[in-house]
Amino acid sequence: MELPVVNHEDYFAKIGDDHKFPINKFGELANYLIQNKIVKKFHKPLACSFETLSYAHSKIIF
């Protein structure tokens, strides 16, 4: 049974190396999982519908 792991290149936030939150760890973890054959491939999520987004976010009109 393959472990379904979701990952996407857009999950990487370009906030700079000097930021206190170590955002690079997510990319490094993804590489580790592939290199050590823990995960064969990542599942890429599909775009969320506006209806689904509306459950968690309010509509703001500018």
* Residue ranges in the chain assigned as alpha helix (H): 24-35, 50-54
Model confidence over 18-59: pLDDT tens digits? 777 766 777 888 889 999 998 888 888 888 888 888 888 777
Domain, as residue range, for 43: 9-54
Q: What is the pTM of this model?
A: 0.57
Distance (Å, rounded) from C-alpha 50 to C-alpha 31? 32
Structure token digits, residue 14: 């370009």
Spatial separation of the C-alpha atoms in residues 62 and 50, rounded to whole Å: 17
The size of the chain, in residues, is 62
Residue 60 lies in a domain: no
Q: Is 17 exposed, middle or buried (0-12, 13-18, 19+ CB in 10 A)?
A: exposed
Residue 4 lies in a domain: no
Provide the domain count of the chain: 1
